[in-house]
Structure 1
Amino acid sequence: MKWVIHQLAKYRENGMTLDEFVVLENVEKRNHDVRNISPVHVKGHCTFGAAQMTCHLQLSGTLILPCARTWEDVEYPFEIETVEVFNWSETALALASAQTNDNFHIVEGDVIHVDPVLEELVLLEIPMQVYKEGADQFKHEGGNGWSYTTDEDLNDLQEDDQPKLDPRLAELAKYFDQTDE
């Protein structure tokens, strides 16, 4: 989505209502964990000041992410509500340094590019790990040259594998049991 500032003048009185789907393909390029992203539904309302646009946005969509245990696809729906401010005044740089929030964006030129802002909002919503339903029951025995073992299985194996004494060294073990007399 992008808007030319001069064309937005017609919305100055009543504001601009948004209800459209946006394809954010750069999300997959910027975060390689994202396998796919559905078109993002953007709804909201933008109001205008002398050299500023304030947008109250609601974003919704679905990300396809890998399961942390099985590496299978997991659908992760997201809902984001935000207020974004776009400023194109001469004093925008001074305002930006005074602003402490990340929702303030300086517009350079005559076009407001909204897609990078939407991409950032979606990227911030991506969790560190997602799990597919039933992934806690996942049991994989292994593959070529590797195996999968849980901590519980490893403890059981270690208890079963008590060190056994080689019969040829039994006499040597008795030597260390003797005390000096």
Structure 2
Amino acid sequence: MKWSLSQLKKYTNHSLELDEKVQFNEISNRRDVVSIGVTSVGGTMHVGSTRVTFNLDIETSIVMLDSRTTEEITVPISVQSTEIFDELQDPDEESDDNIHFVDHTIDLTAIVRELIVISIPTQYTKSETLVESSGENWSVISEEDLEKSSESEEKAIDPRLSKLQSLFGDVEKESKED
């Protein structure tokens, strides 16, 4: 996925179709990312007089560790992006992240890699159930159990506060009478 500007000049004011397959050996240094499959890069490339615009459709799959069970699972990645290469763009000038300065050659490999890396989820799981876990003075409970325990806590009144309950009964009677 590398082109020289001199190659592309003969296609000025034309659009070309992209259909490339790329195999990255390693995509990220994250410990939960095990491997990456073959990456398909498709889309269009429009060559202008000073700019080359790529409308990219990137499809790949990443094998990573399930965030709950630590089993290996396959995560599909799909990215759409528009990248612009401009030979008149000043490389020191800050501009849009999608506009890149080009000197002699256009290399999409680093950009495709970056687009994939930022699309990798921070955590991913296929498991619908929570891993049962507990520790000293704590445990993980389901939402249903939480609702049941909060209902029973509302009904149970601390015996030390039972005398105060009689005061609330008098306040409720007075507000009804007014």
Calculate the TM-score normalised by the size of structure 1: 0.68
Give 3-state SS (helix, strand or coil) of 2:139's partner. Answer: helix
Does residue 123 (structure 1) correspond to residue 117 (structure 2)? The answer is yes
**Relative to 1, partners in 2 of residues 1:20 and 1:69: Cα closer, same or farther, differing over 3 Å?**
same
Match of 1:105 in 2: 100
> 1:130 is aligned with what amino acid?
Y
> 2:91 is aligned with what amino acid?
L
> 1:14 is aligned with what amino acid?
H
> 1:127 is aligned with what amino acid?
P
- Verify the 8 A CA contact 2:34 2:63 in the aligned structure 1: yes
- Distance in structure 2 (CA, Å) of the matches to 1:105 and 1:31: 27
Match of 1:86 in 2: 85
Match of 1:2 in 2: 2
Give 3-state SS (helix, strand or coil) of 1:129's partner. Answer: coil
Match of 2:72 in 1: 73
- Verify the 8 A CA contact 1:24 1:115 in the aligned structure 2: no
**Relative to 1, partners in 2 of residues 1:25 and 1:105: Cα closer, same or farther, differing over 3 Å?**
farther
Deviations 1:143-163 (A, max 9, x none): xxxxx5264379xxxxxxxxx
Give 3-state SS (helix, strand or coil) of 2:63's partner. Answer: strand
> 1:20 is aligned with what amino acid?
E
**Relative to 1, partners in 2 of residues 1:13 and 1:72: Cα closer, same or farther, differing over 3 Å?**
same
- Verify the 8 A CA contact 2:77 2:119 in the aligned structure 1: yes
Give 3-state SS (helix, strand or coil) of 2:49's partner. Answer: coil
Deviations 1:120-179 (A, max 9, x none): 100110111111335x2545xxxxxxxx5264379xxxxxxxxxxxxxxxxxxxxxxxxx
Unaligned runs of 5+ in 2: 142-178
Calculate the TM-score normalised by the size of structure 2: 0.69
- Verify the 8 A CA contact 1:31 1:123 in the aligned structure 2: no
Share of identical aligned residues, percent?
Answer: 26
- Verify the 8 A CA contact 1:72 1:132 in the aligned structure 2: no
Shift of 1:71: 1.1
Match of 1:33 in 2: 32
- Verify the 8 A CA contact 2:41 2:57 in the aligned structure 1: yes
**Relative to 1, partners in 2 of residues 1:10 and 1:31: Cα closer, same or farther, differing over 3 Å?**
farther
- Verify the 8 A CA contact 2:2 2:108 in the aligned structure 1: yes
> 1:49 is aligned with what amino acid?
G
Deviations 1:98-120 (A, max 9, x none): x2x31111123x22111110011
Match of 1:162 in 2: none
Match of 1:163 in 2: none
